[in-house]
Amino acid sequence: MSIRHTESPAPTTHASAGHHVVHHAHAAGQHPGHVRPASRDPFFDNAKLLLVTLVVIGHSWNLLPDASTSSPVYTFLYAWHVPAFVLVTGYLSRSFTFTRRNLRKLVTTIVVPYLVFETLLALFRTTVGHEDLGMLYLSPHWPMWYLSALFLWRLATPLFKRVPQPMVLAVAVSLVGGMNTLDWLDLPRTLGLLPFFVAGMTMRREHFEWLAQPRVRVVAAGLLVTAFVAATFLNGVSKEWLYWRTGYPDLGVPFWLGMICRAGVMLVAAALALSALSLIPTSQRWFTPLGSASLVVYLFHGFFVKGAEYAGLGGASEQDPITAFLLVTGGAVLVSLLLSATPVSRRLNRLVDPISTLTADMPGALHPTHHRIDTHRRLALAHNDPTRGR
């Protein structure tokens, strides 16, 4: 769902978020037109591309008959792919502090894209799809929940870094937060998924290196296979537990039972999310550079999915569900790769990061080459609603 990387105030190399920040050209005594490329950690770009592609796949499955969303593969995917994305987001956000620069970037890279795409997607859904969406902005629609949640998580980051046991506090907030039914800014889901963000925030690079050990990967693969088999026996369980968006009262369970169920789902999701991250390649691959455009993929894929829905693809899929499932899944992968391709993502980023784009050529701004590299580096999302469209 990128995760935009936070940066330290100084224009020096900063690796705490997993990637290095480029030195300003003038600070290095170079000509503004010659900028040294940034060095990135390929693992996180690989993870972002994989996870945002799974978001696109999960949303595309909503085009299929209801039987597809109750299938074991759907249950299996939604059990861990959003928590995994939130965990990576937390790791890449862990250097956020209440500085003027970070707060300004929080507005330009989270708040502004939220307002722009909440508006654009709403216009598309109401004018083309003739949907009635109700209140905008205070109640995020479909994938936009992730940006509102990321905004709140980022603001909470410095606070959680000051408490002695941040994970204990985050879990407590999540369990108690299940009583909340106020949907403003998708607060129930923000509170529910908070432990995964804090877990990523407190992790170090060595933890991910440990996950990549061969023996750990064997165990991880075994856990994922076991979870997939177990998903075949869970057709009667409400998927709302996996969406993290519904309070205990709306699920029809008492507070004590809701906390027990959420705690169980949380443990399973954590184990499977870490298992999935364990299997992600850590080295540079042909697709690694595409991971820097995860926010572009996240924000634009909804137009493709909704366009396919309005074209009647869901009805056509009822004739041959298996073929439709394969075609829709393959099409979702292609959409993700298309949107993340550099020639496409560079142009679409003008809408994703309009303020940086508009100010790039102003007097005193960074040289366009530097700006393009810096903007492309910061492209990162967040994740989809791994849940549903509203």
DSSP class of residue 343 equals: H
Are 251 and 203 in contact by the 8 Å Cβ rule? The answer is: no
Residue 351 CB: number of other CB atoms within 10 A? 15
pLDDT of 22 above 80: no
**Better-predicted residue by pLDDT, 46 or 358:** 46
Closest CA to 294 of 358, 382, 205, 384: 382
Q: Is the dihedral of CA 61, 64, 66, 72 positive or negative?
A: negative
Distance (Å, rounded) from C-alpha 336 to C-alpha 290?
9
Tens-place pLDDT, residues 311-336: 888 776 777 778 888 899 999 999 99
**Better-predicted residue by pLDDT, 362 or 290:** 290
Question: Would you state the pLDDT for residue 178?
Answer: 94
Question: Would you state the pLDDT for residue 358?
Answer: 76
Distance (Å, rounded) from C-alpha 212 to C-alpha 6?
25
The alpha carbons of the chain give a radius of gyration, in whole angstroms, of 20
Question: Would you state the pLDDT for residue 69?
Answer: 61
Question: Would you state the pLDDT for residue 211?
Answer: 97
In this prediction, residues 377-386 reach a mean pLDDT of 43
Mean pLDDT, the chain, as a whole number? 83
pLDDT grade for 9, boundaries at 50, 70 and 90: very low
Query: 388: which residues sit within 8 A by CB, 6+ positions away?
Result: 62, 142, 243
Question: Would you state the pLDDT for residue 227?
Answer: 96
Q: For 173-182, 235-244, 266-275, 290-299, which range has the lowest pLDDT when averaged over its residues?
A: 235-244
* pTM (2 d.p.): 0.83
In this prediction, residues 180-197 reach a mean pLDDT of 91
Tens-place pLDDT, residues 201-229: 999 999 999 999 999 999 999 999 999 99
Q: For 60-74, 144-158, 233-247, 342-356, which range has the lowest pLDDT when averaged over its residues?
A: 60-74
Tens-place pLDDT, residues 154-170: 999 999 999 999 999 99
Distance (Å, rounded) from C-alpha 360 to C-alpha 213?
43
Question: Would you state the pLDDT for residue 28?
Answer: 34
Question: Would you state the pLDDT for residue 234?
Answer: 82
Distance (Å, rounded) from C-alpha 83 to C-alpha 301?
20
**Better-predicted residue by pLDDT, 45 or 380:** 45
In this prediction, residues 120-131 reach a mean pLDDT of 94
pLDDT of 36 above 80: no
Q: Is the dihedral of CA 366, 367, 368, 373 positive or negative?
A: negative
Question: Would you state the pLDDT for residue 233?
Answer: 86
Tens-place pLDDT, residues 233-269: 887 778 899 999 999 999 999 999 999 999 999 999 9
pLDDT of 61 above 80: yes
